Amino acid sequence: MGPHLDEFAEAGAEARRTMVRGIVAGGALRDPAWRAAFEEVPRHLFVPYYFVPGGGGNERLWCGDTDPFRRAQWLYGAYEDGALATRIRDGELVSSSSQPSLMARMLQELDVRDGQSVLEIGAGTGYNAALLAHRLGDDAVTTMDLDPEITESARRHLTAAGHHPAVITGDGARGCPARGPYDRIIVTCTLPAVPQAWLTQCRPGALILAPFATGLILLRVHSSPQGPYAEGRFLHTPAYFVPLRGTVPPPVRHPHTGGVPRRVAENELFRFLLTLTEATLDPREALSLWQREKRPERERFGITVREGRQWAWLDDPEGPYAWPLLAD
């Protein structure tokens, strides 16, 4: 990335305003401070190149293309309301820039206040950290990633955009105790379990927002004589992110839907239930629950992390429907 990106400032600003109007029309960015962040942080600085499907594989669009049409395609694509694949290795997506409207909803649900500190797990391009830094100030934001190439490029992008939060290379599942305690933790990769280390690095009352089982779980951290614990419910919003890499064990995956009718197996909410309970229920058991509880919405489900155990539940943490999650 170089100074030639300056040439896109004016066109990028107009494209950014259009993106923000679309996000606002969709019901997000109700907080003026977050709207200002999205209006003023230039997303194109964080995605100097990205990949799109094309030619039977992945085609790269980038800011330095000699073809002016393709440069324009890159710029306006950077401000479309969609996720952008930014790193692909051996055909596998390693890192991306999330859909802006989803980022807006997540930041809104994070409910940050002036003076609070935030840990982001999954640095990605650095764009989300820049939005946080715009809202809270550089010193209040820590972003980390396991991959040094990702943190190096995120730091470079952030500098180009005029922001300097702490960018840490390390295992996100272990958190970053040296920068804690935190008032908020936001995660941009899918979890199979909630790392206990995060709870010990949070202040009482802190919020943890993370993708989990094709949904978003919002946990509140509490103190107790036995140590910190966390509990909360899923949001209505669906979410699909790359998995967390590090010390958390990989999630179990059912290879098929085992006799579940196709119309049910393809239902997005049933897929959520199947993924959430995959360590405990087989597909037929999940189908039985799905039918018995009249196709429960995401908001009826929650997660509790307490005293070395963690479990998902329907309606009530101590109710009849509870399923242990993988230990961290």
- Name the residue with tokens 């295992």: 171
Distance CA 153, CA 173 (A): 21
User: What burial class does residue 89 get, using C-beta atoms within 10 Å of its C-beta: 0-12 exposed, 13-18 middle, 19+ buried?
Assistant: exposed
Tokens at residue 45, please?
A: 């600085």
Position of tokens 């609070």?
116
Phi-psi region of 104 (alpha: psi -120 to 50; beta: other; left: phi over 0): alpha
The token pair at 83 is 């996720």
> Which residues are known catalytic residues?
95
Q: What does the alpha-carbon distance between residue 274 and residue 191 come to, in Å, rounded to a whole number?
A: 15
- Return the residue matching tokens 């064990």: 249
Cβ atoms of residues 230 and 310 within 8 Å: no
SS (H, E, C) 93-153: EEEEECCHHHHHHHHHHHCCCCCCCEEEECCCCCHHHHHHHHHHCHHHEEEEECCHHHHHH
Residues 6+ apart with CB under 8 A from 321: 289, 293, 313, 314, 315
| Residue 242 Ramachandran class (φ > 0 left, ψ -120 to 50 alpha, else beta) | beta
